[in-house]
Amino acid sequence: MRLISLGFLFLLLAGVTAAAVTVEVGENTGLRTWQWVHEGVSLRLVQRLPDQTRAYLLGRGFPAAAADEAATSCFFGTMFRNDGTVPLDFDLTTWKVVQKGKETRMFVREHWKTNLQENAIPKAARIALHWSLMPTQQHFEPGDYNWGMMVFGLPPGQSFDLHMQLKLDENPLAVTISGLQCAPEKLN
């Protein structure tokens, strides 16, 4: 995807760690991408329109109502990479979504497993969503990476801060990405 850089680089203070976050807007899509980089480790978050997620879920066998409900939960396409020199560990259940001072948690694989079983979503559809989400816990040696969707449980268009906890070579690292925004229902 060709991107136009908005040309601003944020240095955010999170605990004792400076996080470099770039924000770009897709020239053709109008969707925003945030990328955090630290010592070769990077997380890229790309907005997904609710319609994109609706289409994906319907294509995988979700009933329309369930696809619609899920699609308006703030999905991002993400890529987590370890191009650094030491192992990386993360656990998404420790991450916090903060909006207007209110703290919530991400909708990780286990959230969907419970929620979708209770709502009698077909097994094939549940399996498809499970594998397309970023793993809840992961250990990356240098050179490893994953793609996967992350879900922040907020309505379309909402802004929030993401407080991440990572371990680099077993050393804790706290990072905040401020001003993330769920894709709106429609782009202007």
Site residues (CB under 8 A) for another protein? 81, 123-124, 127-128, 130-132, 134-135, 137-138, 140-141, 143-148
Nearer of residues 33 and 176 to another protein, judged by Cβ: 33
Q: How far is the CB of 75 from another protein (least distance, A)?
A: 14
CB 35 within 8 A of CB 49: no
3-state secondary structure 92-155: HHHCEEEECCEEECCCCHHHHHHHHHHCCCCHHHHHHHHHHECCCEEEECCCCEEEEEEECCCC
Helix (H) or strand (E) holding 51: helix 50-59
Nearer of residues 59 and 172 to another protein, judged by Cβ: 59
Nearer of residues 94 and 138 to another protein, judged by Cβ: 138
Nearer of residues 10 and 145 to another protein, judged by Cβ: 145
Q: How far is the CB of 147 from another protein (least distance, A)?
A: 6
Q: How far is the CB of 123 from another protein (least distance, A)?
A: 7
Q: How far is the CB of 70 from another protein (least distance, A)?
A: 16
Nearer of residues 5 and 137 to another protein, judged by Cβ: 137
CB 128 within 8 A of CB 61: yes
Q: How far is the CB of 146 from another protein (least distance, A)?
A: 4
Q: Tell me how far CA of residue 3 lies from CA of 6, 26, 29, 46, 54, in angstroms.
A: 9, 5, 9, 11, 24
